[in-house]
Amino acid sequence: MRISLDRRADRAGRVPLARQIQLHIERLIGQGLLGPGVKLPATRDLARQLGVNRTTVALAYDELVAGGWARAHVGAGTFVAEQVPAGEVARPAAPRFDWTGFLSKSAQVVAADARRRDRGRGPRPGPGLISFAGGMPDSGLFPTDAFRRVLNRVIREEGRELLQYYPARGYPPLREFLAGYLLRFGLEARADEILIVNGSQQGFDLIARTLLDPGDFVAIEQPSYPRAMQVFRAFGAQMLPVPMVAGGLDPDYLERLLERQSPKLVYCQPSAHNPTGLTMTAAARHRLWEVASRHRLPVVEDGFDGTLCYGERAPAPLKALDSAGLVVYIGTFSKILFPGLRLGWIVAAPDLIERLELAKDLADIHTSPLIQAAVYHFCRQRLLDRHQVRVAREYGRRRDALLASLERRMPPGVRWTESQGGFSLLVTLPDGMDAAALLDRAVERGVAFTPGTAFFVDGAGEGTLRLSFSGLATTQIDEGVKRLADAIRESERQPDRGARDRQPSVPLV
């Protein structure tokens, strides 16, 4: 605490030192700068720091306690009171600088996108609400304790190196492990073709800043993952939507599009597509690769996690077909392990990986090597394999329950995608029904979802919504679908209610 004292306080008419200290601390408390329960400095320390007598500080503290600003605990010290006295000090109103006119074009695009996203967000989860919003893994399934033990061992054995600055490319054993892990899916990559990043989100960011200039176009399947689109737009790109057929981006539509437009890249999620949960067929993948290759169109393949598939195994990633180094593959541990670690990777041709590494180095120097090493050892001890089997089975059960409930309970005219992977599926409402308006009725009945507009370019998809099954027990799923079906029937009877503005709540992933 740095307090400026008026040293001439001894003379008549000046505020005494103890009173100055008291008023200063009252102001800090009143403005919330010293929070409830915070310990004040020891009188000895503050006196030394201010160069005043210790009794002066003690006097100030006594006054604070007497005024109800603080509590004294003998032997423990003086603490800010839990309740600030009535008539609290207001923060002095200074002419505040207005940042609005100082924002970059990118920040303006980001803000506009955020406003649109917030409109599409669900309500705050209340008690009894069954929420199909979210799209995150169930933290109840996390192998938290196994990870704790691995982390503990890693920091004991390699802590000193892992807490120091580290090369941007990433922890070499993790990159070696990933080379082997990706082979399981048919993707052949050497460790030097892999860059470690903070989740797939940072993957989008590094790719966008390395490849996109303002005014560029990005071809993207429709619907698609909003966070990827937002990043591309933040770097000045415009989206060219490509419809989906047969579980993925329509390669023939893309080819016709390429006759008229020259997008800088195409972004797609061939497996466990968010929001539909669909998987592109092997034939369509070959066709897409053939089109992209012929037109020299870079492909950004969002791999999500090919292991979270239900039923048949997903075909090999596009990157596995990529003999020319045209595909940039993004992978992540966020879905199959822990989102909170923020750990993912990019696979690309060596010369592009070098550029992406430079971007990573400027973005945040490197991803925490401690986290990288812990995940590596977790994988090496086959704990990831075991966890994957367990969660794929559980999420598969939830997905089956959701499909069965939809089949049983939904009124005619409602359609949905047969999710084959990931955490969600997309519902299409009866003609003319608006998902944002439906959300209000649904929440009244105790169920929530994500309106579909966020997944579409330029405000399409009003009649769609995303249901995530990953976070709900099977019994909740059926009850939630029942409530949703009731809300849809009610909307069919009384169609005329607009959507209300809502505050943001959970992050949209």
Binding string, residues 171-210; x marks residues near a copy of itself by CB under 8 A: -----x--xx--xxxx-xxxx-----xxx-xx--x---xx
Nearest to 37 by CA among 81, 72, 4, 74: 81
The residue within the footprint of a copy of itself, chosen from 21, 211, 402, 454 (CB under 8 A), is 211
Closer CB to a copy of itself, 395 or 416, in the complex: 395
Binding-residue total with a copy of itself (CB under 8 A): 111
Closest approach, Cβ 255 to a copy of itself, in A, equals 19
32 touches a copy of itself by CB under 8 A: yes
- Residues from 366 through 425 that contact a copy of itself (CB under 8 A): 366-371
Closer CB to a copy of itself, 313 or 497, in the complex: 313
Q: Which regions of 181-290 does DSSP assign to beta strands (E)?
A: 194-197, 217-222, 238-245, 248-249, 265-268
- Residues from 42 through 101 that contact a copy of itself (CB under 8 A): 92, 94-100
Contact (CB, 8 A) for 449 and 133: yes
Contact (CB, 8 A) for 137 and 340: no
Nearest to 452 by CA among 438, 469, 466: 466
Closest approach, Cβ 71 to a copy of itself, in A, equals 17
The residue within the footprint of a copy of itself, chosen from 66, 282, 358, 389 (CB under 8 A), is 358
- 301 pairs with which residues across the strands? 268, 329
Nearest to 414 by CA among 491, 494, 341: 491
Q: Which stretch binds a copy of itself (CB under 8 A): 142-150, 395-403, 458-466, 478-486?
A: 142-150
Does a cis peptide bond (omega within 30 degrees of 0) precede residue 275? yes
38 touches a copy of itself by CB under 8 A: yes
Q: Which stretch binds a copy of itself (CB under 8 A): 57-65, 252-260, 319-327, 441-449?
A: 319-327
**SS3 label, residue 227:** helix
Closest approach, Cβ 344 to a copy of itself, in A, equals 9
The residue within the footprint of a copy of itself, chosen from 114, 282, 283, 389 (CB under 8 A), is 114
Alpha-carbon distance of 112 to 332, in angstroms, equals: 28
Q: Which stretch binds a copy of itself (CB under 8 A): 52-60, 266-274, 348-356, 446-454?
A: 348-356
Kindly compute the dihedral angle of the four CA atoms of residues 285, 289, 290, 296, in this order, to the nearest 10 degrees: 160
448 touches a copy of itself by CB under 8 A: no
Closest approach, Cβ 488 to a copy of itself, in A, equals 29
Angle between helices 17-30 and 54-66 (to 10 degrees): 50
The residue within the footprint of a copy of itself, chosen from 340, 411, 413, 495 (CB under 8 A), is 340
291 touches a copy of itself by CB under 8 A: no
The residue within the footprint of a copy of itself, chosen from 75, 86, 144, 475 (CB under 8 A), is 144
- Residues from 450 through 509 that contact a copy of itself (CB under 8 A): 506-507, 509
The residue within the footprint of a copy of itself, chosen from 304, 338, 345, 456 (CB under 8 A), is 338
Nearest to 288 by CA among 330, 263, 319: 319
Q: Which stretch binds a copy of itself (CB under 8 A): 57-65, 357-365, 420-428, 479-487?
A: 357-365
Q: For 215-229, give one letter per residue: b (16+ CB within 10 A) or e.
A: ebbbbbbbbbbbbbb
Alpha-carbon distance of 12 to 378, in angstroms, equals: 71
Closest approach, Cβ 73 to a copy of itself, in A, equals 17
Closer CB to a copy of itself, 143 or 430, in the complex: 143
Can you read off the two tokens belonging to residue 204? 């989008």
Burial class (CB in 10 A: 0-12, 13-18, 19+), 295: middle
Q: How many CA atoms lie within 13 A of 412 on its CB side?
A: 0
Kindly compute the dihedral angle of the four CA atoms of residues 506, 507, 508, 509, in this order, to the nearest 10 degrees: -120
Q: Which stretch binds a copy of itself (CB under 8 A): 269-277, 323-331, 384-392, 472-480?
A: 323-331
326 touches a copy of itself by CB under 8 A: yes
Closest approach, Cβ 497 to a copy of itself, in A, equals 30
Closest approach, Cβ 163 to a copy of itself, in A, equals 4
Closer CB to a copy of itself, 83 or 100, in the complex: 100
155 touches a copy of itself by CB under 8 A: yes
Kindly compute the dihedral angle of the four CA atoms of residues 358, 359, 364, 366, in this order, to the nearest 10 degrees: -50
Alpha-carbon distance of 134 to 505, in angstroms, equals: 10
β 327-332/238-245 pair status: unpaired
Binding string, residues 214-253; x marks residues near a copy of itself by CB under 8 A: -------------x--xx--xx------------------
φ, ψ dihedrals at 397, nearest 5° = -60, -45
Alpha-carbon distance of 146 to 142, in angstroms, equals: 9
Closest approach, Cβ 478 to a copy of itself, in A, equals 25
The residue within the footprint of a copy of itself, chosen from 9, 65, 81, 110 (CB under 8 A), is 110
